[in-house]
Amino acid sequence: MNLYNPKCKICRSGHADKVNQMLIEGRPYSEIIAKLEKHIPGLSKANITNHKRHFPVVPEAVKEFQKQLEEGKRKVIDDLEFLEKVKAKADALLDITSDPSDLQKITAAAVQAMKLKYEISGDVNNPVKELLEVLYAEDEEAG
């Protein structure tokens, strides 16, 4: 399968990467045309259909999906490790203090850290609730 076809308008445009990315994301042709016709004048549905004959959308999308899955797996492992560390810190703190405001402080700091982490990574599924459950479950046992 030849990814570059010199007869293809999209391939010749120098913007094939952008078209490919949108095809992989499953964007409708109308959206691809709207976004790229200023770079590829006269871009039509027929051009995209023709480009798809030599650009393997599905295998490329599978590759992309697998990459995202790997990244997602790593992120989940990171979160679990983070939660474990926070819990261990809370445990240690509970051992040396009976002041409930100390637990509150570490909880607030952990929640801040978690929020920041998710703001940075742009994740919408913020597991702060999960973190609070872990910490408050510990609080109940201690009290």
Q: Give the footprint of Zn ion on this chain (CB under 5 A).
A: 5, 8, 10-11, 51
130 contact partners, CB below 8 Å, separation of at least 6:
83
111 contact partners, CB below 8 Å, separation of at least 6:
128, 131, 132
d(CA 64, CA 24): 8
Strand boundaries in 84-135, DSSP class E: none
Measured from the CB of residue 91, what is the shortest distance to Zn ion in angstroms? Answer: 58
Nearer to Zn ion, 8 or 36 (CB): 8
Query: What is the separation, in whole angstroms, between the first and last Cα of the chain?
Result: 66
Measured from the CB of residue 51, what is the shortest distance to Zn ion in angstroms? Answer: 4
Measured from the CB of residue 53, what is the shortest distance to Zn ion in angstroms? Answer: 8
d(CA 114, CA 98): 25
Nearer to Zn ion, 48 or 86 (CB): 48
Measured from the CB of residue 40, what is the shortest distance to Zn ion in angstroms? Answer: 11
Nearer to Zn ion, 50 or 126 (CB): 50
Nearer to Zn ion, 20 or 107 (CB): 20
Strand boundaries in the chain, DSSP class E: none
CB closest to Zn ion, residue no: 8
Nearer to Zn ion, 5 or 126 (CB): 5
Measured from the CB of residue 31, what is the shortest distance to Zn ion in angstroms? Answer: 18
Radius of gyration of the chain (CA): 25
